[in-house]
Chains A and B, each alone.
Chain A
Amino acid sequence: MNKKIILFLLMTVFSAGAFAQDASLPPVEMATGLYQSGKIYVVVIVLAVIMAGILGYLVMLDRKVSNLEREIEK
């Protein structure tokens, strides 16, 4: 009985290795260089400007429709 428990514990310990990250694999490539040079901010600004433009356009459309609604209501 004791042997079985010990065997079970040993197997548990060994199988834990299967869940750990394999250290021999090369690290996953991420855009660290892009962040180091700091220029990712340029991309963020460009996208933010585009999105702000689209949102501004939506606001304009919204106002135009509101004006039309008021005019037709009269």
Chain B
Amino acid sequence: MKNYWWKILAAALVLYTIVAGFLLSVPAQPILHETIRNLYFHVPMWFGMMTILFISLWHSIKYLSKSDIQSDIVASQAAHTGMLLGFLGIVTGSVWAKYTWGAWWVSDTKLNGAAITLLIYLAYFILRGSLDEEQKRARISAVYNIFAYVMLIVFLMILPRLNDSLHPGNGGNPGFNKYDLDSTMRMVFYPAVAGWILLGVWMMTIKVRIEKLKRKILMNE
């Protein structure tokens, strides 16, 4: 119980999100209609991705200062899990855009920024795959990972705020204002964000443990 209480919390929060997200009332907004409920599912993907990629960044910095290969394992597996959430975020966003803006994809700073971010992280995996020597791979990809996170902040947080964007929370405005969220929606949205972050961390820890076991077996052979 000591160690896994947060996994139960993650499951409870995500299940609560599904039930409350469909059944609680939402404000009636033109264009959005009931799709406003997507906020409970699409946005937490990105919050989860940013949190998990931050964990990845943190361990990359840790690797550079301590040269412990375990940190490199965490950094790479966190980047994997973060990409899963980012991919789900971009696909759900595309579906949402089709039925509100009328197109699967529009050339918008936020959307293109998200796509570029995913490509930057794909390059991280290509970089890892192309280096055979363990220490070298860990060091070079750690440096690249720091660069990748900075680019993520630029493409997802800064550029969309400097330009006009169809996507809510951009064009100079802060992320959430009173038009985006009412108090009932907050009651579902915040638990949703917390739940998906925790669920993402859970998936990440499983991947990390498997990779550490793989390495252990390789070392013993």
Residues of A within 8 A of B (CB): 27-31, 40-41, 43-44, 47-48, 51-52, 55, 58-59, 61-62, 65, 68-69, 72
In the bound complex, CA of A27 to CA of B27 (Å): 12
In the bound complex, CA of A4 to CA of B109 (Å): 45
In the bound complex, CA of A3 to CA of B14 (Å): 60
Q: Tell me whether A47 and B18 are in contact in the complex, defined as CB-CB below 8 angstroms, given that A40-B23, A72-B216 are known contacts.
A: yes
Closest 8 pairs between A and B when the two form their complex, measured CB to CB: A28-B28, A55-B11, A31-B34, A65-B209, A44-B22, A47-B18, A30-B28, A28-B30
Q: Tell me whether A55 and B18 are in contact in the complex, defined as CB-CB below 8 angstroms, given that A30-B28, A30-B33, A69-B209 are known contacts.
A: no
Q: Does B150 contact A (CB under 8 A)?
A: no
CB atoms of B18 and A48 under 8 A apart: yes
Quick one: which of A52, A55, A68 has the most chain B CB within 10 A?
Answer: A55
Q: Tell me whether A40 and B213 are in contact in the complex, defined as CB-CB below 8 angstroms, given that A28-B29, A30-B28, A58-B203 are known contacts.
A: no
Q: Distance in Å from the Cβ of B92 to the closest Cβ of chain A?
A: 14
Q: Distance in Å from the Cβ of A60 to the closest Cβ of chain B?
A: 10
Q: Which of B7, B22, B26, B217 contacts A62 (CB 8 A)?
A: B7
CB atoms of B206 and A62 under 8 A apart: yes
Q: Which of B19, B29, B206 contacts A44 (CB 8 A)?
A: B19
Residues of B within 8 A of A (CB): 7, 11, 14-15, 18-19, 22-23, 26, 28-30, 33-34, 199, 202-203, 206, 209-210, 213, 216-217
Q: Chain A residues near B203: list those with CB within 8 A.
A: 58
For the A-B complex, the count of residue pairs with Cβ-Cβ distances under 8 Å equals: 52
Q: How would you classify the secondary structure of chain A's contact residues: helix, strand, loop or mixed?
A: helix
CB atoms of B209 and A51 under 8 A apart: no
Q: Which residue of B lies closest to A29 (CB)?
A: B33
Q: Which residue of B lies closest to A46 (CB)?
A: B18
Q: Which residue of B lies closest to A47 (CB)?
A: B18
CB atoms of A51 and B213 under 8 A apart: no
List 10 additional A-B contacts (Cβ < 8 Å) besides A41-B23, A58-B199, A62-B202. A30-B26, A30-B28, A44-B19, A48-B18, A51-B14, A51-B15, A65-B206, A65-B210, A68-B213, A69-B213
Q: Chain A residues near B28: list those with CB within 8 A.
A: 27-28, 30
Q: Distance in Å from the Cβ of B178 to the closest Cβ of chain A?
A: 13
Q: Tell me whether A47 and B22 are in contact in the complex, defined as CB-CB below 8 angstroms, given that A65-B206, A65-B209 are known contacts.
A: yes
Q: Chain B residues near A40: list those with CB within 8 A.
A: 22-23
Would you give 18 A-B contacts (Cβ < 8 Å), ordered by A?
A28-B30, A30-B28, A40-B22, A40-B23, A43-B22, A44-B18, A44-B19, A48-B19, A51-B14, A55-B11, A55-B14, A55-B15, A62-B7, A65-B209, A69-B209, A69-B213, A72-B213, A72-B217
